[in-house]
A and B are shown apart, each in its own frame.
Chain A
Amino acid sequence: MEATTRNFERNARKALADTKLQEALARLSHGFPAKRRQAIARLPEFEALRDAARDIRNDVLENLDFYLERFETRVGERGGQVHWARDAAEARSLVLKICQDAGARTVTKSKSMIGEEIAINEHLEANGITPVETDLGEYIIQIRREPPSHLIAPAIHLSKGQVAESFKEKHGQFPKDRSLEEPRALLDEARTVLRESFLEADVGMTGANMLVAETGTVVVVTNEGNADLTMSLPRVHIVIASLEKVVPTLDDAATLLRVLARSATGQEISVYTTFSTGPRRPGDLDGPEAFHVVLLDNGRTTMLGSELHEMLRCIRCGACLNECPIYRAVGGHAYGWVYSGPMGAVLTPVLIGIEHAGDLPNASTLCGKCEDVCPVRIPLPRMLRHWRQRQFEGNQSSAASRYGLKAWAFLARRPALYRLAVGPAVAVLGMLGRRRGRFRRLPLAGGWTASRDLPAPAGRTFLALWRKRPAGRP
C-alpha cells in the first residue's frame, strides 16, 4: 500500500475528530490491557518467562544464519521448499509464481502482516488471481479496501454498523432486508460466505508466528481456526514470513507461546496453535500436497548489530500498541502504513525509508509503557530516541514543521476540542508531565515550550472531573 506516514498530523487530526474511531479505541484501551494484567496475575513465572523469551530471541539473532540454514534443511527433508526474498518485489514474484504453477484461481489467506507489508493481495489481483482473507477482521478490511489498524485486531477501528454496511454492499446473494444489527449475525454471514472459499481455494496462504529450526516447522496461532482451514483444505500451502521469525527448538516455541497470547489478548493461550511440517505424509487423508515457505528480508538483516538490533526480537503481540497513549488517542491508521504503535514507529522507517516515515519516531511521549509490557523486553523508547537523533544529525527534522511537533502543538493549543477526542490527549499530556509537574520541554513542541512552561493537565478533563465530583459538592 501507499504509505501516508508523512501525513501523520492530518491523519491524527482526522482520527481525533472521528467519534466512531474514538469509541472503538476506548473499547480497546479498556479491553486488552486489563485482560493482559489478569492473565499475568495467574502466572507467577511471567517475569521469568519474559527473561527467557528475550534470551531466546537474542540467541536467534546472534546465530540467525545458522538457525535459518537448519530450518531450510529440515523443511527440505520433509518435502517442503524454502524460498528467499530480499525485498517485497521478490517475495511477490515468488508467491505469484507458486500460485500460477499450481493453476490457482482462488487463494485463501489467513492474517499475515508480511502479506500486508508486501501488498500481496493487490499483486495477485492484478494477475487474475482472487485472494480471500479469512480472518474475520482481515476479511472486513479487505472488502473495505483498508489497511489493518492493529497487529492482532485489524478491524478494531470499525463499528458493527460500518461492518453491516460493507456486508450489505458486498454480499448481494442475501436478502436486502436481513438484519445485521448484532455482531453474531455479521459473524454468521461471514462464516457462510467464507466456508465456500475455504472449500474451493486452490492455494492457502498463511503467515507464521514462528519457524522452528529444530524440526523445520511453521507455527501459526489463531483464535478463529481460519488458518487451519486455509492450510489443510487446498492443494498448496504457502507460508510467507519474515526471516527473523525463526526460533531454535520446540521448547523455545513453547516458552514464547506462554508469553504471546497473554501479552496479546490476555488469553492463557490462543485457541489454535498449529505446527506444520512439510506437505501431507504418505497415508494422510488430508493436508496440502505442496508446502512452500517464502522468507522475506526487506531490510531486516541490516538491523542486525545496529542500534535497532533488539527490535528484531518482536513477536508481534500488540501489547505496546494497547498501552501506548498515542496509539490509544489516534489509532493505527494515523501511522499511515502497515505497522503502528511504538513497534511501528521503530520499524516503519526501516521498511519504507526514514525519508518517508521521518515523523513517526516523534509519535511517542517516551512514557515507557511500551517497554514495560513488551514480552521480549524491547527498549522501544531508546529506539525511538535513536531515530530522533538520526533525524537531528541528518537534519531531516525541520523543527516544528514536522507533523509530530505540529500534532502536539495542535492538541495542546486546543484543550477544549471535541471532548471525546481530547480526553485521551489530555491523559497523555498528564502522564508525560506527571514526573515533573510541568513540561519544561514538550518533546514534540520544542519551539513552542522553549519560552514558557506548560502546566501539566491533571490527567482528566475538567468536565470529566466535574462529572465525577461527589454529589452535593460544587
Chain B
Amino acid sequence: MSEARAHIFATIRRALGRQAPSAEQAAALHRRLDAPEPNVIPARAQIDAPARIGLFIAEAERADATVARVATVDDVPRAVADYLAANNLPSVLKVAPAVADIPWSERTALSAVAGVAGGGDPVGVTGAFAGVAETGTLVLLSGPDSPTTLNFLPDTHIVVLAAARIVGTYEDTWRSLRAAAGGDGPLPRTVNWITGPSRTADIEQTLLLGAHGPRRLHIVLVDGDDG
C-alpha cells in the first residue's frame, strides 16, 4: 500500500518540521548505522577470561539452567548420559548437525539422530555461537547445521559450549558477527539469546518452568576445546 507509505512519511516530516534529512544529516546517520558504537557497558562483564567463565556459570544457574564442565569434547557424551540418567530422562537424542560428529554412542547407551526437531523428540542437543557472561545467556545462530526448532520443541535442551566461546557482553557477539559478515549481512535468519529454561508466571504470578519451550536447559561446558 504505497499510498499509505507516502502518507506516513509525509506526516512524519510535517510533524518534525522538515523535509527528508539533508545530505549531511543522512551521512551522519549512515555512519551511525554502518559503524555502530556500543553504549553503556556494565562493569561486571568487563573481566578476564577465567572470571568470565565463572560469571557465566553463576548467572546461567541463577536463571535455572544447569551447567556441567568437562575437559574435552570426548567427555561430552558421558556427561550427557549421566545428566539424563540422573534426571530420569530418555537417552534418545535429536542432535544438530553441528554437533553430530561428537561420538555420542561410542561408550554410552545414548542414541543420536541428526536433524530438525519433531514434536515427539524428548531431548535436543545443539552447539552455541557464544555464551554471554553478563547474564549467563547463550547465543545460538540458525543455519544448515543448527536448526532453530531444536532449541524449542524438545522438553530438554542440552547445549555444548566451548569455554573459549564465553564473552563478556552482548556487544562482543555483535562485533564478531559483523566482522564475519558475508553478503547476507551480519545476522542469519534467527539469532536466539537463551537464558535459562522456558517459564511463565501468568497464573497467579506462580513461576513455573517449561511453558512452551524446554523444561530444562543443561549446558555442557568444554574447557579444552577452542572451538
* A contact residues vs B (CB 8 Å cutoff): 24, 27-28, 31, 43-45, 48-49, 51-52, 56, 62-68, 70, 74, 77-78, 83-86, 90, 94, 134-137, 140, 153-156, 158-160, 163, 183-184, 186-187, 191, 194-195, 198-199, 213-217, 223-226, 228-229, 232-233, 243, 248-252, 254-255, 257-258, 265, 267-281, 283-287, 297, 301-306
List 21 A-B residue pairs with CB atoms under 8 Å apart, sorted by A's residue number. A52-B40, A66-B20, A66-B21, A66-B25, A85-B4, A134-B212, A156-B205, A183-B203, A214-B33, A223-B198, A226-B213, A229-B212, A251-B38, A252-B39, A268-B195, A274-B193, A277-B187, A297-B8, A304-B11, A304-B15, A305-B15
Report the bound CA distance from A198 to B119 in whole Å.
Answer: 9
Q: Contact mask B176-190 → A, CB, 8 Å, 1/0? A: 000000001111111
Report the bound CA distance from A67 to B97 in whole Å.
Answer: 37
Contacts A271-B213, A287-B189, A287-B190 aside, 13 further interface pairs with beta carbons under 8 A come to A78-B184, A137-B200, A140-B203, A183-B206, A229-B213, A232-B149, A254-B38, A268-B62, A275-B187, A277-B187, A284-B189, A304-B16, A305-B15
Report the bound CA distance from A199 to B118 in whole Å.
Answer: 9
- Among B9, B170, B206, B211, max chain A CB count under 10 A is at B211
Report the bound CA distance from A255 to B199 in whole Å.
Answer: 23
Could you say which residues of chain A place their CB within 8 Å of the CB of B191? 274-275, 277
Report the bound CA distance from A137 to B208 in whole Å.
Answer: 13
A225 in contact with B116 (CB, 8 Å): no
Report the bound CA distance from A165 to B16 in whole Å.
Answer: 51
B149 in contact with A254 (CB, 8 Å): no
Q: State how many angstroms separate the Cβ of A106 from the closest Cβ of chain B.
A: 15
Could you say which residues of chain A place their CB within 8 Å of the CB of B9? 65, 68
Report the bound CA distance from A458 to B201 in whole Å.
Answer: 33
Could you say which residues of chain B place their CB within 8 Å of the CB of A70? 33
Could you say which residues of chain A place their CB within 8 Å of the CB of B116? 285-286
Report the bound CA distance from A305 to B189 in whole Å.
Answer: 36
Contacts A254-B170, A285-B147, A286-B116 given; indicate if A84 touches B4 (C-beta within 8 A): yes
Task: Please list the 4 inter-chain residue pairs (A to B) with the smallest Cβ-Cβ separation, ordered nearest first.
Answer: A225-B213, A224-B211, A137-B202, A304-B15
B205 in contact with A84 (CB, 8 Å): no
Could you say which residues of chain A place their CB within 8 Å of the CB of B97? 285
Report the bound CA distance from A258 to B174 in whole Å.
Answer: 15
Q: State how many angstroms separate the Cβ of B18 from the closest Cβ of chain A.
A: 9
B156: Cβ under 8 A from any A Cβ? no
Q: Which of A45, A84, A94, A223 contacts B42 (CB 8 A)?
A: A45
Could you say which residues of chain A place their CB within 8 Å of the CB of B23? none
Stretch at the interface among B77-85, B100-108, B137-145, B159-167: B137-145
- Among A51, A140, A184, A250, max chain B CB count under 10 A is at A250
B43: Cβ under 8 A from any A Cβ? yes
Q: Which residue of A lies closest to B187 (CB)?
A: A277
A243 in contact with B189 (CB, 8 Å): no
Q: State how many angstroms separate the Cβ of A321 from the closest Cβ of chain B.
A: 14
Q: State how many angstroms separate the Cβ of B100 from the closest Cβ of chain A.
A: 12
Contacts A199-B119, A274-B190 given; indicate if A77 touches B185 (C-beta within 8 A): yes
B204 in contact with A160 (CB, 8 Å): yes
Q: State how many angstroms separate the Cβ of B155 from the closest Cβ of chain A.
A: 10
A301 in contact with B12 (CB, 8 Å): yes
Report the bound CA distance from A265 to B205 in whole Å.
Answer: 11
Report the bound CA distance from A245 to B195 in whole Å.
Answer: 23
Q: State how many angstroms separate the Cβ of A85 from the closest Cβ of chain B.
A: 6
B197: Cβ under 8 A from any A Cβ? yes
Q: State how many angstroms separate the Cβ of B201 from the closest Cβ of chain A.
A: 7
Q: State how many angstroms separate the Cβ of A403 from the closest Cβ of chain B.
A: 29
Q: Which of A68, A78, A134, A233 contacts B149 (CB 8 A)?
A: A233
A302 in contact with B15 (CB, 8 Å): yes
Q: Contact mask B22-40 → A, CB, 8 Å, 1/0? A: 0001100100110011111
Report the bound CA distance from A43 to B213 in whole Å.
Answer: 28
B190 in contact with A271 (CB, 8 Å): no
A284 in contact with B15 (CB, 8 Å): no
Q: State how many angstroms separate the Cβ of A57 from the closest Cβ of chain B.
A: 12
B213 in contact with A272 (CB, 8 Å): yes
Report the bound CA distance from A369 to B214 in whole Å.
Answer: 37
Q: Which residue of B lies closest to A305 (CB)?
A: B15
Q: Which of B142, B143, B174, B211 contacts A223 (CB 8 A)?
A: B211
Report the bound CA distance from A134 to B174 in whole Å.
Answer: 30
Contacts A228-B148, A268-B62, A274-B190 given; indicate if A254 touches B204 (C-beta within 8 A): no
B1: Cβ under 8 A from any A Cβ? yes
A226 in contact with B40 (CB, 8 Å): no
A194 in contact with B208 (CB, 8 Å): no
Report the bound CA distance from A198 to B116 in whole Å.
Answer: 15
B210: Cβ under 8 A from any A Cβ? yes
Report the bound CA distance from A183 to B202 in whole Å.
Answer: 9
Report the bound CA distance from A273 to B29 in whole Å.
Answer: 26
Report the bound CA distance from A52 to B37 in whole Å.
Answer: 12
Q: Which residue of B lies closest to A199 (CB)?
A: B119
Report the bound CA distance from A231 to B184 in whole Å.
Answer: 20
Q: State how many angstroms separate the Cβ of A205 from the closest Cβ of chain B.
A: 15
Q: State how many angstroms separate the Cβ of A241 from the closest Cβ of chain B.
A: 13
Q: Which residue of A lies closest to B17 (CB)?
A: A305
B39 in contact with A191 (CB, 8 Å): no
Contacts A228-B151, A232-B190 given; indicate if A66 touches B26 (C-beta within 8 A): yes
Could you say which residues of chain B place their CB within 8 Å of the CB of A28? 205
Contacts A274-B190, A283-B144 given; indicate if A301 touches B8 (C-beta within 8 A): yes
Report the bound CA distance from A306 to B186 in whole Å.
Answer: 37
Report the bound CA distance from A66 to B201 in whole Å.
Answer: 39
Could you say which residues of chain A place their CB within 8 Å of the CB of B29? 63, 66-67
Q: Which residue of A lies closest to B5 (CB)?
A: A84
Contacts A269-B137, A302-B15 given; indicate if A24 touches B203 (C-beta within 8 A): no
